[in-house]
Amino acid sequence: MSKIAVVYWSGTGNSEAMAHAVVDAIKSAGVDVDLFQVDDFNADEMANYTAFAFGCPAMGDEVLEEDSFEPFFADAESKIDGVPVLLFGSYGWGGGAWMEAWADRTKDAGAKLVGTVIAENAPDEEAIANCEKFAKELAKEA
């Protein structure tokens, strides 16, 4: 049975809003989904899921949040080979280089990347629509 985990870190609420849009779209597709803040999820729990949506904003010099999300994702990388994954997050500067690097890293780990969604600051209607679109694709792949 398909079950998706949506795991995110959010400092201002922007990536959290995107996470909720992803969860709602997965539910509307009829797939079981659990939502976790990254500190409440351990990579060892990944065996209980068939797909993942990971959310994290750009931090510092366009990198993943370093105290919680980066260590989690470093552990998760070894568990996503062949697994459908969606990436999302917001940024306040730059042009999204952190997402390009994260997407490359995810593909290099062998994941089946179904899409990426970025939003400059708070997600606008287009970003939410893209979250919903790719979440539905993730649900089909799960």
First to last CA, the chain: 9
pLDDT in tens, 36-95: 999 999 999 999 999 999 999 999 888 999 999 999 999 999 999 999 999 999 998 877
92 contact partners, CB below 8 Å, separation of at least 6 = 57, 58, 120, 121
Give the Cβ contact number of residue 32 at 10 Å.
15
Please report, rounded to a whole number, the percentage of residues in the chain having pLDDT higher than 90: 92
Question: Angle between the 14-28 and 125-141 helix axes, to the nearest 10 degrees?
Answer: 50
- Reported as a single tens digit per residue, the pLDDT across 22-43 is 999 999 999 999 999 999 999 9
Q: Which amino acid is at 30?
A: G
pLDDT score, position 93: 81
